[in-house]
Structure 1
């Protein structure tokens, strides 16, 4: 076990870089699976890992007796020259921020608390300057939150305290990213690059303290936690869902172009503007030239090497713009459509996706286990979120289980927009989560689409369903007046039972629905329902209907105490 260190010298900084590689290797697949922004090409983890490996390779060229500033500068230059993708380019600026912070500190041979504050602030400024259009809810947001928290910490805080503040704040900021960026919220995931940054800051905590932060409660996807160790590395306890590798969905931007260019600041400004005209996701980062800290605005000297990244429709024009700016090297061009097609073929994925709107952690897990993709509603969704989720499936043929989340006219509008992207979209007649579960149970990906849609629609329509709620105000219903606190039993959307005893209301409701017969009752317990409620209702069903099978799941929906379906 490593000892707690209040400063980090050159050797320790190299050790941190190696620990970053180990952490990124451990989480590479998970980070890739979360990758939906700026392009859902499932390579953020791979790009971060490749960039960090390039940094470590460059760091090995520094002598063992050299201080932290020299090591950081070598790591930064290696990262810039070997940057892969949008995330790799930003990672290179994080490392360059450490180089500048150390170089300008009173003790450049070691990284202490003051140096860490400067390093994270420079890293944030450089990353923001590198991205042409910074977006909230991305790796830059997570980085800025960590820098702000360290800067706001007590002036006499130790390095041990500050690295923990940085990593913990980054993890908290990461958990907020789905609410900051619509495409993340629609997919129900955190930012992939932000997760990579948390892994990197956790590696710094391990380097300084000898312990890896415990992150088992950090949800990266609905029902999923970040797999990290409890104290020591190597005791994973988390579970990871495998997400689909998604196709590129930015119309016309079919290529990712990256290259290195030796140029001065003026030429780079012209290049940035030109690439902005040609495409999006423009990121241009510098290795700092001959002096990592020679410019007050984060710029570089005339001898700087720049790493350029853009998504565009005309790869040739992007390269011509680089040639006009300076001397090019290491040109790399990726075709999103071709890569997505190869990935789908390699994974053996069928042509059809099932997308279900779901509220509640437990319900989301049920659908995910059955192979459906999930759009988390959190009580409500917008047509834009549903459209983004349909596009995010990466499939041409999509069957949607809307579960009453949107009115029919909105579904018609969303379907029209989705079909405009040359997709075949079918909305199945599910008004509730339990109907969607019944439909999913008969889904057969080997059937042709129309036959599968018919079978699933028939199963949903044949499932009678009801829900139990608690009245929050006095109101007149179809069966009389309810008072606040009464149990309300609904069949579909109509109140059919009112009872001051909530359990009694649930039992009466189920009995009414079972009056027409049934073989299976599925009960989903809401977030506010007790296990006892589910047990008592299930026991009532079994005692009155001995031939009926009852299954109870913890759904987690916010409004219904329980929702049940009868098949």
Structure 2
């Protein structure tokens, strides 16, 4: 798991500019690569040093390790893509808890749990995005596992990982025809490409092989000489608001409903499984709205948020820029 996330941090970092270049859905703000990189980096750095979940024998619980990475990613998630990836990690960790190694069956269970949770985190999920890539990867792993009748060998795991990447690649290619915006621009989905790279990093880390250098060859819009598609499209008005907040189940449902009424791209996902003494759970919240203040007032009416960030959708985010914008919130 540590090797996987280290590889993913490097790979997404190397490809972030090209991923940004084709980022036009759900908004053409050209930051999917950057957001995904910063979120993967948070996950990778959470596993540096002492590994979480060590057993008495000194071995590491795979699920506990991944859960720690997922929670760090969730707390520092950036944008739609980063938030969905952090949901993916947290959910994938659950079937792996208590296990000391990965098998074909566990991989299939983890990917299935992850894609279901990611789809459900969005109020209005659509195919043709990284969600479709997650789903295709899960289906591919399940098909191999079903054909192996519980074979827990490394050979079966290798076959499953090969199928996962092949399925994810096919899903990325299909994204162009699933969304009108992508079809008009003749590009594949940026988040989908990022997810494909992350899954190839998993295959590489587990099997001890190199990343597949030709994997992205021929993807529409992904050649180095292709233009930055998003720069030729109209700027999107509005802002992206993100925060972490403790909510009762009723208040969480209320917040999702009311955010759906005033904005879009609403993502809400629980951070961890433990309730506080008042019966509330921590949630990561993401929404696109016309103006920040009404959304922030709504959120504060239901609890006390932390790590509130407000970013203009029309401007690419610079992670090294002044962390506080003119509106007084963190960028």
TM-score after normalising by structure 1: 0.51
Q: Relative to 1, partners in 2 of residues 1:261 and 1:240: Cα closer, same or farther, differing over 3 Å?
A: farther
> What is the distance in 1 between the residues matched to 2:110 and 2:283?
20
User: Who wins on radius of gyration, i.e. which is larger?
Assistant: 1
Q: Relative to 1, partners in 2 of residues 1:36 and 1:327: Cα closer, same or farther, differing over 3 Å?
A: same
Are 1:98 and 2:96 matched, yes or no?
A: no
Pairwise CA distance, 1:304: 3.0
Map of 1:77 onto structure 2? 71
> What is the distance in 1 between the residues matched to 2:177 and 2:126?
12
Pairwise CA distance, 1:290: 2.7
Map of 1:185 onto structure 2? 183
Q: Relative to 1, partners in 2 of residues 1:247 and 1:173: Cα closer, same or farther, differing over 3 Å?
A: same
Pairwise CA distance, 1:55: 1.4
1:68 to 62, 65, 71: 62
Pairwise CA distance, 1:302: 4.1
> Unpaired segments of 5 or more residues in structure 2?
319-331
Q: Relative to 1, partners in 2 of residues 1:175 and 1:335: Cα closer, same or farther, differing over 3 Å?
A: same
Q: Which has the higher helix share?
A: 2
Map of 1:139 onto structure 2? 130
Q: Which string of whole-angstrom CA distances, capped at 9 and with x for unpartnered residues, describes residues 3-37 of structure 1?
A: xxxxxxxxxx1111111101101111111001000
Q: Which string of whole-angstrom CA distances, capped at 9 and with x for unpartnered residues, describes residues 460-490 of structure 1?
A: xxxxxxxxxxxxxxxxxxxxxxxxxxxxxxx
Pairwise CA distance, 1:244: 4.3
1:26 to 14, 20, 26: 14
> Unpaired segments of 5 or more residues in structure 1?
1-12, 226-238, 292-300, 344-567
Map of 1:281 onto structure 2? 265
CA contact (8 A) 2:104 2:141 kept: no
Map of 1:213 onto structure 2? 212
Pairwise CA distance, 1:324: 2.4
Moved more, 77-86 or 301-310: 301-310
> What is the distance in 1 between the residues matched to 2:51 and 2:299?
31
Q: Relative to 1, partners in 2 of residues 1:240 and 1:209: Cα closer, same or farther, differing over 3 Å?
A: farther
CA contact (8 A) 1:175 1:218 kept: no
Pairwise CA distance, 1:217: 5.9
Q: Relative to 1, partners in 2 of residues 1:285 and 1:19: Cα closer, same or farther, differing over 3 Å?
A: same
Pairwise CA distance, 1:216: 4.7
SS in 2 for 1:132: coil
CA contact (8 A) 2:23 2:229 kept: no
The number of aligned residues is 302
RMSD over aligned Cα, in angstroms?
2.3
CA contact (8 A) 2:245 2:283 kept: yes
> What is the distance in 2 between the residues matched to 1:55 and 1:268?
25
SS in 2 for 1:220: coil
Map of 2:2 onto structure 1? 14
CA contact (8 A) 2:21 2:228 kept: yes
Are 1:37 and 2:25 matched, yes or no?
A: yes
CA contact (8 A) 2:266 2:286 kept: yes
Q: Which string of whole-angstrom CA distances, capped at 9 and with x for unpartnered residues, describes residues 31-67 of structure 1?
A: 1001000010000010011111111222236346432
Pairwise CA distance, 1:144: 0.5
Q: Which has the higher strand share?
A: 1
Map of 1:322 onto structure 2? 299
Q: Which string of whole-angstrom CA distances, capped at 9 and with x for unpartnered residues, describes residues 267-286 of structure 1?
A: 11111111111111111122
